[in-house]
Structure 1
Amino acid sequence: MNRLDVIAYRLARAAARRRGSRPALHPRGVVLTGRLTVPGPPPAWGVPWLDRPGSYQVTARWSRAAGLPYPLPDGLGLALRVVDAEGPGRPLELLLTTSGRSGPVRHVPLPRLSATAGPYSTLLGYAVGDRHGVVAAFPAPGTLGVPAHPRAVAAAVAVRPLHFVLGFAAGRRWQPMARLTLLGEEQAGDGEAFDPYRASLTSFRPSRRLRGLRVAAYAGSRAGRAGGRPRATGARGRAPDPEAGGRPNAP
């Protein structure tokens, strides 16, 4: 565990502690129900759940990244949990942030005033089968503008579903993978925690670039929310306390 990882852990833990039970980033949002539909016949991705037509239950959390007061522009987040993507108990989790569409700006978080004004991307790279690129969710053509506030997003999906196209780009061209439909607000509340390293799949996983830094930040945020230190349980992708000399486990 290097010094930068420890700093990331401590900063995230301190921020989460200040916010009580909320995470260091994306502190306020709305949890939504949804479906991810894989059309057929699909291209050969080398990913079992993408290489056959299917429909999967999704839990999504839409949020404002820095928690800036509305109507100030903020980076917007769309976290997805694809339930049982590779079978029972094998979910896939993605963290997407408002970004640009092409070139270097697809790797840059961009603040927005509308929740449906443009794409949400993984920012960092993903390995999808034997391809390496970026995953993004694009508002479907014709989607109405929705103000960038949790209550506005919840109100919008209460009237009609919000549709996105989940796509992948290894170069300039985006290739559609699946269709995401956000159906309504989840009444269980706003306590969802998502971690793309802890819930990645062998054939669909984030790249190792800056992995240690991000895993340490997630671990620090969880520790701050719990009011203590995370325990090294050996679970896939779960990071022990870096201050105790531990190293994140490989996915």
Structure 2
Amino acid sequence: MRLAPLAGAGIVVAVGLRAARSRRQRALHPLGRSMSGELHVWGCVEPTGSDLLDHPARHAVTVRVSKGAGTRGSRPDVRGIAIRVPGAARPTDLLLSTVGPGRWGRHVPMPRRTFDAVYGSIAPYRADRRLHLAAGPDPEGTPVGDDIEQVGRHPADLLLHVIQSGKVQTFGRLHLGELLPASTDAELAFDPIRNTSPDLRPTGLLHGVRALAYRLSQRWRGATPAADNPTAVEETASGQRLR
């Protein structure tokens, strides 16, 4: 059952439709709120081979919470969370969308009525082995909320997970802090393909399509795209490490 290619085709269609409607808006997830945050990683009990996922640390991050089609208020939409983790050479951008339940459902973007839902990377990442990233409500934290216009008015929390060989490991907590200015939100240009690290690389057709889609979207709206990273793009497309 090959669901990721269908999702990849959907991204390309979405970019085209949004671009036809507006020159200066995001083609993907146009309606969102950006905020400061903290990623508290306590690490995976069974190591994945990724420094970010395995080693306990606290990272000051930038987070964008958004709606895929740009519906207003609490109307159903594919909701997204983008996390930018600073790095010495370049940041690591992690992008998650609300997904369906179960093994196959996590490959399918799914509209939800709340931001306190289950998110997934849709397609896999590669560390020592293939894995998926996921996020979901924190039972001990503050809910994010339902209405996009209200998001960011209070701190909120989500738990982050790794799914590997069918096993789920909770490796950290994402705390959403203060709302950032609208001008900062407009300038942010996430790129999960180029802004990555050698030990946690997105892989597969969907991510390969994203490499093109995000570039087109950012150039179209006049944002400064991520610095070129041809090795990351090639590794994503091939699914193999080149070094």
TM-score, normalization: structure 1? Answer: 0.78
**What secondary structure, in the 3-state scheme, does the structure 1 residue paired with 2:78 have?**
strand
2:34 to 31, 36, 39: 31
Partner of 1:195 in structure 2?
191
Residue identity matched to 1:114: T
**What secondary structure, in the 3-state scheme, does the structure 1 residue paired with 2:185 have?**
coil
Residue identity matched to 1:182: L
Partner of 2:95 in structure 1?
95
How many angstroms apart in 1 are the aligned matches of 2:44 and 2:192?
27
**For this pair of structures, how many residues does the alignment match?**
227
The correspondence of residues 93-242 of structure 1 with structure 2, limited to 5 A, is: 93-116=93-116, 118-127=117-126, 129-143=127-141, 146-155=144-153, 157=154, 161-187=155-181, 188-191=183-186, 192-226=188-222, 235-237=228-230
Q: Deviations over 1:101-147 (max 9, x none)?
A: 4211111111111111x2111111111x2121210111101455554
Q: Deviations over 1:81-106 (max 9, x none)?
A: 0112xxx2331101110113421111
The percent identity for this pair of structures is 32
> Structure 1 144/59 Cα, relative in aligned 2: closer, same or farther at 3 Å?
closer
Asked if structure 1 preserves the Cα contact closer than 8 Å seen for 2:44 and 2:53, the reply is: no
The correspondence of residues 11-22 of structure 1 with structure 2, limited to 5 A, is: 12=15, 15-16=18-19, 18-22=21-25
How many angstroms apart in 2 are the aligned matches of 1:234 and 1:164?
29
**What secondary structure, in the 3-state scheme, does the structure 2 residue paired with 1:34 have?**
strand
Asked if structure 2 preserves the Cα contact closer than 8 Å seen for 1:79 and 1:96, the reply is: yes
How many angstroms apart in 1 are the aligned matches of 2:215 and 2:170?
32
Asked if structure 2 preserves the Cα contact closer than 8 Å seen for 1:15 and 1:224, the reply is: no
> Structure 1 41/19 Cα, relative in aligned 2: closer, same or farther at 3 Å?
closer
> Structure 1 70/131 Cα, relative in aligned 2: closer, same or farther at 3 Å?
same
Q: Deviations over 1:32-53 (max 9, x none)?
A: 1111112268542222233332
Partner of 1:245 in structure 2?
none
**What secondary structure, in the 3-state scheme, does the structure 2 residue paired with 1:81 have?**
strand
Unaligned runs of 5+ in 1: 240-247
How many angstroms apart in 1 are the aligned matches of 2:139 and 2:89?
33
CA-CA distance at 1:11 after TM superposition: 6.5
Matched, 1:48 2:48: no
How many angstroms apart in 2 are the aligned matches of 1:6 and 1:165?
29
Residue identity matched to 1:80: I
Q: Deviations over 1:159-193 (max 9, x none)?
A: xx211111111233211122211112113532111
CA-CA distance at 1:20 after TM superposition: 3.2
How many angstroms apart in 2 are the aligned matches of 1:153 and 1:81?
18
Unaligned runs of 5+ in 2: 1-7, 237-243
Stretches of 4+ aligned residues off by more than 6 angstroms:
5-11
What is the alpha-carbon root mean square deviation over aligned residues? 3.1
Q: Computing the radius of gyration over CA atoms, which structure comes out larger, 1 or 2?
A: 1
